[in-house]
Structure 1
Amino acid sequence: MSRDKRVESLKVRRSQATPVSLALLVLSAQGALADDAVQSKPAVLSEVVVSDMSIDPLGLDQKQRTGSRLDLTPRETPASVTVIDREVFEQRGAQNTQEILRGVPGITSSAAPGSPGALFYRGFSGGSVTQLFNGITVQYDVIAARPVDSWIYDRVEAVGGPSSFLYGAGAVGGSINYITKLANRDGNLTEAKARYGSYNDSQLAAGTNQKLGESNYVRIDVNGTKIDGWSDGTERKAWQAAASWLADLTPQLSSTVALEYQYENVDQPYWGTPVLRPFVGEIGIDNRTRFKNYNSQDGLYKQTVKWGRWILDYRVDDTLRFRNTLYHYDALRDYQNVETYTFNANNSRVVRSNALLQRHDQDLNGNRLEANWNSEIGGLPSNWVAGLDYSVNKQTRYPLSIAGPFGSVNPTNFVTEPFFSLPGMTQTYNPDRTNRVQTLALFAENRTFLTQQLSLLTALRWDNIDLEVTNHRTPTATNPAYFEQRYKPLTGRAGLIYDLTPAANVYVQYSTAADPPAGILTTASFAQVQDFDLTTGRQVEVGSKLSFDEGRGSATLALYDITRKNLAMADPSRPGTTVPVGEQSSRGIELAATWLMTNNFRMSGNWSLVHAQFEEFVENVGGVAVSRAGNRPTNIPKQVGNLWLAYTPIPSLELGGDLRYVSSRYADTANTVSDADYTVLGAYATYTIDKRTRLTARIKNLTDTVYAESFSGSSMVYLGAPRMVDVSIQTAF
């Protein structure tokens, strides 16, 4: 077979649905947000009544807590705030948290095992995009925020751009908040779901909310999934359980205890696919390797996660409220994998290298106290929130790395070895270093109505961050036995929002953020933080939020300009050393809209355009300092668009489809290796058997497009899933 026939480029045929046409459709579908835990509506009703065309996917007038702690709606917040609730991600068939995030304008993601929680947002990635769990950051997002099955979650919220003033260091690109279902006061409801699809992809899930007596409410959700995996040898098993108890201790005081457990085991994880040489220009893959898995035959990823929260909510009166959240997080993650695969010079063999035995042992304990009160300033209505957050985050890593190489294999006909038969590999866990991050934060926000139409929102946060690192191995000059760094960033936001009409407004805001100079504080090495302060980031954003067609449609628009300074980069005069003087910027536009065009046809979607580049950045290439100024950061597309259509020809039947477009990205900071743009299509049909039971058939990646979720350097890509079909039934009683 000729090379031309064997090679399938990642280039996607340009369809008639170009990015311009997507923009004209003004894509997006965010969720109608439930209120906070104490006031939340029953998730079960929103999950089963999917054919209700009155649902508003943008939910501009539903309260949220991610863009502000003032209990504002997205319409009232001078920032790009997206809320996606169960009504929306159940309808779209989003099976995990990363699939849910396709509803946020501009976000792309990847679940590659080396960084399974990778998000790319507004031109930034890694530690510059904060991912929260119920408003709590574990400060290890690219690993800890790996995709979690969506059943236990009530909604996902996102705020674009710098938001360290809300959640602490690490949020130049934006913040994502995954919010778990909690016990509520809406009575007794029970729900269940079963799903089966391609590659033996199966799911069984159930949940119940029960009222016990006059003042106690309990909710329990359990979910289990299993899939053989589309990559040879891969098998994933996972289950999650979430339980909460809401008790009204007095008419003014309530207590919520919430526990959560997550377990995941992946045998022979798919780590990526080698790209064909030469590593220059637009990449291609040998189509015969699409489903091949070059990991050791007993490769492994395994994790257990435990969450505990105790929330006390005390309402003094209608003007004053206190909330205290005591929280605990514990995670244990294990890896044993051969992680790198590269074609040889003539693309006839695949060279395997970089074996890593790794364990992460992390725990986080903290307490957040906050107070909301309503008052006046000079006769002007004013809302306040202020609080204190204290946490201790400790992580120890146990790596054993062997570079190899471990020989080469035929690209299509091979057998890999048991992991512990690799030369030098033993099943021993010796600690490398322990990072302890202690954070004390004071924060405050205010909204003051200057006129009936004009409001001013301000926020400040001061952090006292103490990083202590203990080296458990032989000390050296570049890796001392112990070192400590302290950071005291002050970040904030100021925004104005003006109501043009009751249905439309415009806003402007300025916000700042602070990020680690390189890496993440919970894993930072001496070289990454030596003599470095946190980077500084700032954003200017203008936008508008409106409803139209007598409330049948909603839309949002945001334009932003972000600059991040003091990045760690190679010293131009001494390439082997690092200096914190780099600079990165991004400018972009985001559109989101939903429109109930007729009583039985809805169109929703989003579209984003971003120009991201290094303003100043020097890379050490073989001992030579090379400037990358003007280049685009890796894995950042210029355009991302999503479109969702839903049509109910008869009340009991809903037909729908979706389209996702992602433009090309670079694999390297030199911008010499890239993929092509791609488009992925999907379709579904839902039949409502009765008011509370529905049957759904769904196809994802309808055209079986070959595309990369992300690059792993210039020689490997992590491919997206092929065509997948599943059938599910969901009911409530």
Structure 2
Amino acid sequence: MLRPFTPRVSRAGIALLLAGTVAPPAFAQQAAPSPTQSAVELPTVSVQAVSPAEELVLPDIARLNLKNETGTLVGLTPFETPAAIDIVTQQQMQDRGLRTLTEVYNSVPGVMSGNLPGEPGVTSIRGFSRGAVGYMLDGMQVPDPLMVSRNYDSFSFDRVEVLKGPASVISGNGALAGTINLVTKQPILGQNTGQALLSYGSFDTLRVGGDYNVALGQNAAVRASALYSQSNGYITDTGSETAAITLGATVALSDRLTTTTSVDYFHDDYQTPYQGTPLIARSAALSPSSVVSAPGGMVIDRALWNRNYNVLNGEMKSDAVWARNRTEYELTDTWTLRNDLNYYTADRRWANSEDFTYNPATRLLDRTTTLITHDQQVWSDQLSARYDGMIANMRHRFAIGADYIHTNFDSERRFGTTTPVNPYFPNRGYFPVDTSANFSTRQNYDSQVDQAAVFAEDAINITSNWLVVGGIRYEAIQLDRQIYNLNTLSTSSFGNNYESVTWRLGTVYNITPGTALFAQYNQATVPVTTLLLSNLANASFELSTGNSIEAGIKSTFWDNRAVATASVYQIEQYNILTRDPANPSLTVQGGSMRSRGAEAELAVAITDQLKLTANASYINAEFTQLWSAGSNLAGNRPPNVPEWTYFLMADYKLPTLPMTLSASVQYVSSFYTDNANTIEVAGHTVLDAWASYEIGRGTLRLRGRNLTNAFYADWSGYSSSQVFLGAPRSVELSYAAKF
């Protein structure tokens, strides 16, 4: 029988490691298995004689043994889960300089993310993006993730879990490509710990954060964290600020009853946000670049890299509050009841010129205007019963439950045009007054979505080396929408009822201690468009369906000096929206797309001082059936999906000083900005390097980003003819202390 994972470090080291990577008891408690129970787990690492080389990869081994809620309902670890799961801890975020959620997402193989102003933190996983990516906070499902996702500062989160592949059984309708779970900093019983962060860098970028956990006796704890950041931005007149406060209290009311209540506040405010850089005619460019290849000789002009074409008073801001309670009661040593109550409210506002199109006749940029507001409230409750015990001499970890989610969403939506501008000397003007003369579309939306689901999952240890996992979910969705047209003074009301059954079956098998093979098959469903913003035509369509098959390996080897994972997969989606080839003016269901790929990750201690970390991803994504108004797009790659990405990082600990020298290189291959694949963004490579010095109870870091000052684009905008340019060379100095 394989033994539980126990790293060979001192007790103090174990405490620090767990404080930085493991969820608090109230959010991670599971009934402890008896000695007769079995589980597929990592091998024991003896406490007596850990080598410096093994110590370098201990955090990577520990992440494989964290109980998570992204890939399972029953508290499986990533090593036991028949799927690819990446966990980026707070310590990793600080070590690698991952300041925002977008940077965290882009550090995960198979994941691409951009800060599209209307959809900040929008993410593509394994070739599928937007509504195909699920979103959770502390394991609680969030409907319509495009409405909720933001590019928050990473300091507010204990870790970010990314499950790749369909996850509808876990996180509900919509999670075809994968699910992102943001795990906030929760109270830890029995500890008084704290952390502080201060950094300053190029573009007047400032981050200040603090986090403190206080034990109130042995049975209660409170934790609070706060973060403020600001930056002037690397594009002209794009200042921004973010703030976050997270509060939590955990109380063990008895040996069997524990409750945790959390309240989090997130704020962001982007003044005249960057909306991307437009392509212009090569004949008009002062310094044409090869960043984008487009028909008609359109290029990105280096001379325009920091120009802002948004109106002078443009804005993008949001305020959100999350309130959650999790209460767990252990009925017996094997049965636990859990209830999760969640409330979310947010106000968001956009008022910008977002699209800039070069007009060859006037040599100016024609601009659109967009005004959007969101007033959103979400109530949800999930009740589940969980079992961890022996049945027929086999360990079962079983969960059954039901949840209900109600969403109310009000939105003002205005679309129009404003004055064109000269690309080189833009007279940006101001956002127009909300009148019918300035906006051809003026609508107010009122939407309600009710979702109810029942689910079950069972993880069965057939033997100590062989685990089988199965799950199923039934979900019913009711949509009600009202649209009031201010220009025509007309109102339309419509809705639809949707049903879905999703399931998965997977297995994990230990071929040697510390090395496991896994495989899984999934069925998932996805709305064809964002439910809260659907129009009359889209609301009448049924849910699209998808499936996935995946197989891989997870391993620790070379005397626990190396950790590796690898997988291959195929994901297919059917009944996406397409044009009718017989009548191109008509939109119908019937399109499809497919993604095939492979991913690999490795962390290895080459010597007692040198550690290498690497990952790579290959994605072959294509539309298998899709028609535009004028052509067949089958075989084309979806937008913002590079075929290849890789990341390599080296850390070298100096033998005579408390200093570590590090460097990383990240490569992203080319991608397209449109379904027709006519506009291609060139691949790019970014080199970073930093030095970390231990001072007192903290670490001082001097970091240089994009040291070669590469000129590149990393995402496309709403218009396929404008792209978002990456940041130029920059430096920052930070100090992070623990106490």
Return the TM-score normalized by structure 2.
0.89
Matched residue, 1:533: 542
Name the structure 2 match of 1:262.
266
Q: Look up the SS of the partner of 2:384 in the other structure.
A: strand
Q: Does 1:131 align with 2:146?
A: no
2:500 corresponding residue in structure 1: 489
Aligned partners of 1:302 and 1:222: how far apart in 2? Answer: 19
Q: Is the 8 A contact 1:282 1:673 kept in 2?
A: no
1:729 aligns with 2:735: yes
Aligned to 1:633: 638
Shift in Å, 1:615: 0.7
Tell me the alpha carbon deviations over residues 310-347 of structure 1, each in whole angstroms, 9 at most, x when there is no partner: 1111122331112111100001001110111122327x
Which structure 2 residues correspond to residues 166-177 of structure 1 after superposition, within 5 A? 166-177=170-181
Q: Deviations over 1:44-102 (max 9, x none)?
A: xxxxx9x9725433522222221102111111111111111112111001101111123
- Root-mean-square deviation (CA, aligned residues, Å) is 2.5
**Letter aligned with residue 704 of structure 1:** N
User: What is the aligned partner in structure 2 of residue 44 from structure 1?
Assistant: none
Higher mean displacement: 424-433 or 241-250: 424-433
What residue identity is the alignment partner of 1:439? Answer: Q
Structure 2 match to 1:7: none
How far 1:220 sits from its partner (Å)? 0.6
Task: Give secondary structure in 2 for the equivalent of 1:634.
Answer: coil
Is 2:626 the partner of 1:592? Answer: no
Partner in structure 1 of residue 426 of structure 2: 414
Name the SS of the counterpart of 1:155 in structure 2. strand
Tell me which residue corresponds to 2:56: 53
8 Å Cα contact 1:139/1:521 also seen in 2: no
1:515 is the counterpart of 2:503:
no
Percent sequence identity is 30
Residues 290 and 37 from structure 1, CA distance in 2 versus in 1: closer, same or farther, beyond 3 angstroms? Answer: farther
Distance in 2 (alpha carbons) for counterparts of 1:55 and 1:232:
44
The residue type equivalent to 1:387 in the other structure is G
Tell me which residue corresponds to 2:112. Answer: 108
Structure 2 match to 1:70? 74
Larger RCO (alpha carbons 8 Å, 6+ apart): 1
**Aligned residue in 2 for 1:13:** none
Asked if structure 1 preserves the Cα contact closer than 8 Å seen for 2:414 and 2:443, the reply is no
1:254 deviates by 1.0
Aligned residue number for residue 22 of structure 1: none
Paired letter, 2:720: S
Q: How far off its partner does 1:534 sit?
A: 0.5
Question: Which secondary structure does the structure 2 equivalent of 1:172 belong to?
Answer: coil
CA distance in 1, matches of 2:486, 2:474: 36
- Contact kept in structure 2, 1:33 and 1:63, CA below 8 Å: no
Identify the residue that residue 555 of structure 1 maps to in structure 2: 564
Tell me the distance in 2 between the aligned counterparts of 1:458 and 1:322: 20
Q: 1:231 to 1:350 in 2, by over 3 A?
A: farther
Which amino acid in the other structure matches residue 157 of structure 1?
E
Look up the match of 2:8: none
Mapped to 2, the partners of 1:425 and 1:697 lie a distance apart of 53
Note closer, same or farther for the CA distance 1:236–1:507 as it changes in structure 2 (3 Å cut).
Answer: same
2:665 maps to 659
Residue 33 (structure 1) shift: 4.3
Query: Does 2:455 correspond to 1:443?
Result: yes
Describe how 1:394-405 pairs up with structure 2 within 5 A.
394-404=408-418
1:482 shift after superposition: 1.5
Cα–Cα, structure 1 residues 89 and 677, in superposed 2: closer, same or farther, change >3 Å? same
2:678 to 662, 672, 678: 672
How far 1:143 moved relative to its partner? 4.3
Deviation at 1:671, TM superposition (A): 1.2
Deviates more, 1:95-104 or 1:348-357: 348-357
Distance across 1 between alignment mates of 2:691 and 2:712: 25
Does the 8 Å CA contact 2:165/2:571 hold for their aligned counterparts? Answer: yes
Q: 1:580 aligns with which of 589, 602, 616?
A: 589
The aligned amino acid for 1:509 is Q
- How far does the alpha carbon of each residue in 1:183-207 deviate from its partner, in whole angstroms, 9 at most, with x for none? 1114112221111100110111111
Indicate whether 1:38 and 2:23 are aligned.
no
Separation of aligned partners in 2, 1:429 and 1:280: 31
- The yes-or-no answer on 1:339 pairing with 2:350 is no
1:324 aligns with 2:339: yes
One-letter amino acid matched to 2:460: T
1:148 maps to which residue? 152
Q: Which residue of 2 aligns with 1:45?
A: none
Question: 2: CA distance between counterparts of 1:344 and 1:472?
Answer: 34
Partner Cα separation in structure 1 for residue 445 and residue 27 of structure 2: 44
TM-score with structure 1 length normalisation? 0.89
Say which SS state the counterpart of residue 56 (structure 1) adopts.
helix
- Other structure's SS at 1:317 match: coil
Instruction: Decide whether aligned partners of structure 1 residues 179 and 94 sit closer, same or farther in structure 2, where only a CA change above 3 A counts.
Output: same
Measure the CA separation in 1 of the matches of 2:587 and 2:441. Answer: 31
For 1:382 and 1:211, locate their aligned partners in 2 and report how far apart those are by CA, in whole Å: 34
Letter in 2 for 1:688: E
Gaps of 5+ in 1: 1-30, 42-48
Q: Secondary structure at the match of 2:79?
A: helix
Name the CA distance, whole Å, in 1 between partners of 2:466 and 2:493.
52
Q: Deviations over 1:409-433 (max 9, x none)?
A: 1x22233112136986789997622
Secondary structure at the counterpart of residue 99 of structure 1: helix
- Report SS of the residue matched to 2:170: helix
The code of the aligned residue for 1:334 comes to R
User: Unmatched 5+ residue regions in structure 2?
Assistant: 1-18, 30-51, 283-293
**Does 2:194 align with 1:190?**
yes
Per-residue deviation, residues 684-704 of structure 1 (Å, max 9, x unmatched): 1111012x2211111111111
Q: Quick one: distance in 2 between partners of 1:339 and 1:365? A: 32
CA distance in structure 1 between the partners assigned to 2:125 and 2:200 by the alignment: 32
For 2:575 and 2:70, the matched residues in 1 are separated by 27
Aligned pair 1:382/2:396, yes or no? Answer: yes
**Does the 8 Å CA contact 2:415/2:442 hold for their aligned counterparts?**
no
- Point out the more displaced range, 450-459 or 412-421: 412-421
User: In 2, distance between residues paired with 1:282 and 1:188?
Assistant: 62
1: CA distance, partners of 2:240 / 2:555: 43
Taking the TM superposition and a 5 Å limit, the aligned residue runs for 1:200-349 are 200-277=204-281, 279-280=294-295, 284-345=299-360, 349=363
Letter aligned with residue 390 of structure 1 = Y
Aligned pair in 2 of structure 1 residues 283, 318: CA closer, same or farther (>3 Å)?
A: farther
